[in-house]
Amino acid sequence: MESVLLYIFGVLIIVVGLAVSIGLHELGHLIPAKLFGVKVTQYMIGFGKTLFSRRKGETEYGLKAIPLGGYISMIGMFPPTKPGEKVHASSTGFVQQLSDAHTDTAATDVAGAIEGAIDEPTEPSGKRRAFDSLVQDARDMSAETIGDGEDSRAFYRLPVYKRVIIMLGGPAMNLVLAVLFYGIVLVGFGAPAASVGAISECVMPAGATQQSCPADAEPSPAAAAGFEPGDRVESIDGQSVTSWDQFSAIIRDHPGDQLSVTVLRDGGHETLQLTPKLTSRPESAGSSTMVDVGFAGVTRAGDMQPQPVTAVLPAVGDNIGAVVGIITHLPQRLIDIGQAAFGTEERDPNGPMSVVGVGRLAGEVVSIDTIPVVAKAQTMFGILASLNVALLVFNLIPLTPLDGGHVAAALWEGIKRGWAKIRRKQDPGPVDAAKLMPLTFTVVVILGGMSVLLIYADIVKPITLFG
């Protein structure tokens, strides 16, 4: 029973942490919007039924039933399509844009073809008429919330740089949170120290089950170099080593190279000559893919070593790169996840997962009594750091209705107006991004389908830390 309660507690930590991160993301939009004079009618955390709300001034602040997203509603997210037409309210949350008629159609036109879709009218027919009707219905419903004389406070009337600041405010907040959480993880708790816990006497094939070395077995590189349990690696070839991960990476990247390793032993320094051996090992924990890497034959001790502040930003950068890599190969990864969910293939432990999968991992960590409390806390902060990096990168994708789409639309408008000014042509005016509603709708449908697949896979074939 205790383990079940701890599991639930771990899940709740992630749910609350995610809700707070989303709330601060939306606060990153709210603050500059108000500073720049845009009328903000709503600030909401979550989707669905409103559980609590309170109006302060002209803005309603509230909490909704499903804390998996958020939005702020600003008037005038897109310009009138006709001269003198009244501006309409819209929001920064892509789910809310469809469900509550705060249709966020300030979109990106990042290619010439999209520009043509905006600037060149076509005869409405078939699906186009349906999309036009959807856009007009959303405009009519949101127009009811706009008071007279408020056009000057519309989002689209702001200079381009102010619109970019507002839309980048949310991702910027996630970046700040990621840096904060990584600072707690690395500087506060520390990283595994480059301390040797045990040494393999010989080189054993990956996956070998035998416990003793055969008489004719080759000594492991660490044993041949003279490593002893308790040694703390301080430098390799003059390069300072501050963590076990750094030490392992150097070993893996230098098979066959002789390395001069300085270790701290019994208060004194020893210099050892280590030549990692080329061997096949799993690409990552739990992976069935084998890669050729350097091998030394040492395992780490359990002590932690606080990292310098300078280690935080590189860690955030590495995480950003990993998320970008996942998004870049997302179609193939989703195919692999589908095959795993509906077939016999295994899930990639380094692949994407839904918030359900993240919650399960958190519950698993918290419920295992063999893991020290400090290690559990460090892991939870690490998960929250990774979630904020994911929110940062995901929201910067230059597609409507994500923040990156709004940024791209504003920048494109700035380019068009700047080019017209250079050519001494008439100001083309704001980009009519409302005509990109079909793209917005398509992206929302794709994201919804992706979420359903990931949630299903995380239920029927979840990624686990401990098998």
The two tokens of residue 130 are: 């349906």
pLDDT the model gives residue 219: 87
**391 in Cβ contact with 21 (< 8 Å):** yes
pLDDT the model gives residue 166: 96
For the purposes of burial, counting CB atoms within 10 Å of the CB of 423, is it exposed (0-12), middle (13-18) or buried (19 or more)?
exposed
pLDDT the model gives residue 314: 93
Q: Which residues of the chain have pLDDT under 50?
A: 85-88, 94-95, 98-122
CA distance 117 to 108: 11
pLDDT digits (tens, 9 = 90+) for 275-331: 998 887 666 555 556 778 888 888 888 778 888 899 999 999 999 999 998 888 888
Q: Count the neighbouring beta carbons within 10 Å of the beta carbon of residue 301.
A: 18
pTM of the model: 0.78
pLDDT the model gives residue 20: 92
pLDDT the model gives residue 111: 36
pLDDT the model gives residue 426: 87
pLDDT the model gives residue 162: 95
pLDDT digits (tens, 9 = 90+) for 260-276: 999 998 889 999 999 99
The residues that are catalytic are 26
pLDDT the model gives residue 293: 85
Residue 93: closest CA among 357, 435, 383, 405 = 405
For the purposes of burial, counting CB atoms within 10 Å of the CB of 375, is it exposed (0-12), middle (13-18) or buried (19 or more)?
middle
Give the strands of the sheet with 259-265, arranged side by side: 239-240, 232-236, 259-265, 268-274
pLDDT the model gives residue 444: 83
pLDDT the model gives residue 139: 58
pLDDT the model gives residue 146: 64
pLDDT the model gives residue 82: 53
pLDDT the model gives residue 281: 67
pLDDT the model gives residue 464: 80
User: What is the rounded (10 degree) CA torsion for 63, 64, 66, 72?
Assistant: -80
* 429: alpha, beta or left? (left if phi > 0; alpha if psi -120 to 50): left
pLDDT the model gives residue 312: 94
